[in-house]
Amino acid sequence: MNNDYQMPFLKHNWWKLLTGLLLLYAVIGGFGIAVSFEGMEVAAESMRNLFYHVGMWFGMLAMLITGFVYSLRYLKKFDEVEDIKAVEAVNVGLMFGFLGIFTGMIWANFTWGTPWVKDPKLNGAAVGLLIYLAYAILRGSIDEPHKRAKVAAIYNIFAFFLWIVLVIILPRLAGESIHPAGGNSSNTIMPMHLPPSMRFVFYPAMLGWVLLGFWIYKIRVRIRKIKLTIDNN
């Protein structure tokens, strides 16, 4: 009897269990292992933030790409549910963006002595927030649901492309970046350069954060769908 109930739960929700385990692992592992990285002595023990701060960026990117895809689908089908998915993906992406900036500011304050530096990667993230806050304002200024969905989808597609262009070319314009990740600056750290013990925590942590994003997103979409059904009846 009990098994009949549990089986479908695990069949559809195994990834939620996985998210919980991965993040638990990321917290225990992240604070448990020894962190050291050559060239990053300035970060010292704050290097542990790598497992949390970088995850926010991946979560944001995954959510904004999801939002972009659902905006495209809305323009193809004109189905209100696609619009709900797009806007909720953007909302969760914004949440990750803010968390990424806050965790980054704490980290920057510790390592660079100031919460904000004029750096292409920081500015790219900040401009992303500006774009999607403007998206929220745009939605707020249109009353009619279908018109709102359509205009917002068009802006989302247009802005997403230009944001990606910005993230790609900003480091080229600035030349050097103090922020060690991706890109082509001399202090670049790619995940494969990390010591193995850190990699063992890093990759599962990143997957965990992205999955957590989808979990929050799914719950928010479900709430919106229920609201939509109530409103329509």
Partner 1 sequence: MLGKEIKILIGKEIQLELKQKYVLNGILLYLVSTIFVTYLAFDRIIDADTWNSLFWIILLFVAVNGISKSFVQESPARHLYYYTITSPQAILLSKVIYNLLLMTILSVLSFVFFLLLMGDMVVNIPLFLITLILGSLGLASILTMVAAIASRASNNFSLIAILSFPIVLPLLGTLMKVSKNALSASQWSGNYGFIVILLTINITVIVLAYLLFPYLWRD
Closest distance between partner 1 and the C-beta of residue 166, in Å? Answer: 4
Residue 163 as a binder of partner 1 (CB under 8 A): the answer is yes
Pick one of 69, 81, 117, 166: the residue that binds partner 1 (CB under 8 A): 166
Distance CA 99, CA 224 (A): 23
Closest distance between partner 1 and the C-beta of residue 164, in Å? Answer: 9
Helices (H) and strands (E) in the chain, counts: 6, 0
How many residues line the site for partner 1 (CB under 8 A)? 27
Closest distance between partner 1 and the C-beta of residue 184, in Å? Answer: 13
- Please report, for residues 53, 90, 102, 110, 111, the alpha-carbon distance to residue 115 in angstroms, rounded to integers and kept in the order given: 14, 25, 9, 8, 9
Residue 40 as a binder of partner 1 (CB under 8 A): the answer is no
- Residue whose CB is less far from partner 1, 73 or 225: 73
Residue 118 as a binder of partner 1 (CB under 8 A): the answer is no
Residue 98 as a binder of partner 1 (CB under 8 A): the answer is no
CB 82 within 8 A of CB 74: yes
- What is the distance in angstroms between the CA of the first residue and the CA of the last residue of the chain? 36
- Which amino acid makes up residue 52? Y
Distance CA 16, CA 10 (A): 9
Residue 130 as a binder of partner 1 (CB under 8 A): the answer is yes
Residue 49 in 3-state DSSP? helix
Residue 169 as a binder of partner 1 (CB under 8 A): the answer is yes
Closest distance between partner 1 and the C-beta of residue 104, in Å? Answer: 19
CB 58 within 8 A of CB 103: no
- In the complex, the residues that contact partner 1 under the rule CB under 8 A are 75, 127, 130-131, 134, 137-138, 141-142, 147, 150-151, 153-155, 157-159, 161-163, 165-166, 169-170, 172-173
